[in-house]
Chain A
């Protein structure tokens, strides 16, 4: 099956228009397999992407992680209701199709 989601990249363009990711500490909630993550992940200082991982998505996301992003993009199994991070540890939170 050939399936494409947003081949025009409208979502990515609008996301970049709405915020500057450069140098930021980013938390992405609901990353799934990292579809959106890879569209901005080159810019932040660090990205932590979380997902409840009901479909083994994080394994796929980690496999797809480019080698030059191993030190700056991390995936973790977590829920938005219980974020396993200290207070004030991110500059930007991205709710990716999560609510």
Chain B
């Protein structure tokens, strides 16, 4: 990752801007929602591989800062939703796409299925993903 940062520095003009946009594991909320109500049914489990990725990325950016390559100008944490029509669609997607990085525990699966099945006709399922956005200036 540090090598990639060095490459980015090379292709950027002086005072050029690097925007780093990435998900940050933080026990993302799992919810069943409808027009009438929202109910949290559990949280995603942070797994070692995902946490290690976050740590490695943070370390690489910190090293870029220490090396005097970039200056951190601005940073914010935002939330974005991943939404599925049904609980089973959510499980299938997460098991395929996020395998090894974040997990869906049995208790959260059961609670989500049950809450969705007994919920309003327009109930859907969502995960609130935390995303870190940072603006860096090349020095």
A contacts, CB < 8 Å to B: 1-8, 10-11, 14-15, 18-19, 27, 29, 36, 79-83, 85-99
What would 17 more interface pairs be, CB under 8 Å, given A6-B80, A95-B8?
Answer: A1-B92, A3-B84, A3-B89, A11-B80, A14-B76, A14-B78, A18-B19, A19-B17, A19-B135, A79-B4, A81-B3, A87-B10, A92-B16, A92-B18, A94-B18, A97-B22, A97-B23
Q: Which residue of A lies closest to B53 (CB)?
A: A99
- Cβ distance B13 to chain A, nearest Cβ, rounded Å: 5
Give the residue of A10, A80, A92 whose beta carbon is less than 8 angstroms from that of B7: A80
B74 within 8 A of A: yes
* A80:B93 contact, CB within 8 angstroms: no
* A11:B131 contact, CB within 8 angstroms: yes
Q: Which residue of A lies closest to B17 (CB)?
A: A92
Complex A-B: 21 CB contacts under 8 Å? A1-B85, A2-B84, A2-B85, A3-B84, A5-B81, A15-B19, A18-B133, A36-B21, A80-B7, A80-B8, A87-B11, A88-B11, A88-B13, A88-B14, A91-B13, A91-B16, A93-B16, A93-B19, A94-B19, A95-B18, A99-B22
Tell me the complex Cα distance, A88–B82, Å. 36
Tell me the complex Cα distance, A6–B95, Å. 19
Give the residue of A5, A86, A96, A97 whose beta carbon is less than 8 angstroms from that of B82: A5
Tell me the complex Cα distance, A62–B61, Å. 31
Q: Which residue of A lies closest to B88 (CB)?
A: A1
Residues of A contacting B89 in the complex (Cβ-Cβ under 8 angstroms): 1-3
B117 within 8 A of A: no
Give the residue of B21, B74, B81 whose beta carbon is less than 8 angstroms from that of A7: B81
* B22:A98 contact, CB within 8 angstroms: yes
* A97:B21 contact, CB within 8 angstroms: yes
Residues of B contacting A94 in the complex (Cβ-Cβ under 8 angstroms): 18-19, 21
